[in-house]
Amino acid sequence: MSMSVLQSQEFIAAKTEKSYYADHYRAMEDLYLPDLSHRLDQIAPTPRRVLDIGPGWGTQLIWFASRDHQLTAMDLLPIGTFVSADTLQEIAQKTGQYVAWTEHDILKARIEATFDLILASQVIPHLKFRPDAAMRHIAQMLDPKGVFVCVVLDRDGHPKVAAPYDRWEELPDYGTGPGVPEMVTCMYDAEGLRRLLRTAFGDVSVQPLGADCLIGEGREGRP
């Protein structure tokens, strides 16, 4: 049975021993997950091969699994930093869908597989280097008929958030230094996100999402 966002959040809250999810992270999810999940149901109404980049505590993983999608989760951080191996096992037991875990940095990852849907929720603003290289790697992992979906905070909706860079083009290129510290490295407005997606995708759209977030979608085509 397909789970709602609320049911997915309750599932994750019951599996994590850390209070941060219930006390803080879940409130951030509430900004965008209901609208995002509605959009994902439109994009992938039937089971697809899905890559979730930066799955956080796993809320979207259980949501995808309950809809029978074939799931791979990718994170720069080891499993257990946020989502745990036990949570993945519980997801498989509840839904019958195994979640493959891979530890990779999307700035240089090249997985020998393609996906119908690639999702990155609140991941891109945290990259330590210019994210256009990551976009090109993501495009290589996307099936020709697939879609890449990303979510970022809308800079216009969060004017008090102080990030060291206003535009993603200002971040250092990958390989030119140690990169900026792990934090929100830049904020996005609609045009900035559109410029980023166009570095790797020919068919691009950017729309408001939920409360003060943006959703960007990229599909095949020459950028």
Following DSSP, what letter does each residue of 147-196 receive, concatenated?
EEEEEEEBGGG-TT---SBSSGGGSPPTTSSS---SS--B-B-HHHHHHH
pLDDT at res. 29: 92
Q: Which amino acid is at 63?
A: W
pLDDT at res. 93: 95
CATH number at residue 171: 3.40.50.150
pLDDT at res. 5: 96
Number of domains in the chain: 1
Which helix (DSSP H) or strand (DSSP E) does residue 140 occupy? helix 132-141
pLDDT at res. 41: 96
pLDDT at res. 220: 84
pLDDT at res. 77: 84
pLDDT at res. 163: 85
- Asked if residue 127 belongs to a domain, the reply is yes
Contact 182, 112 (CB under 8 A): no
pLDDT at res. 130: 93
For the chain (length 223 residues), average pLDDT per consecutive 10? Answer: 94 85 89 95 95 95 97 89 92 95 83 91 91 92 95 85 88 85 87 96 95 94 60
Residues facing residue 103 across a β-bridge: 75
Sorted by sequence, the CB contacts under 8 Å of residue 65 that are 6+ apart come out as: 71, 91, 92, 94, 95, 97, 99
Could you list the residue range(s) of the whole structural domain that residue 96 is in? 5-218
- Asked if residue 210 belongs to a domain, the reply is yes
- Asked if residue 223 belongs to a domain, the reply is no
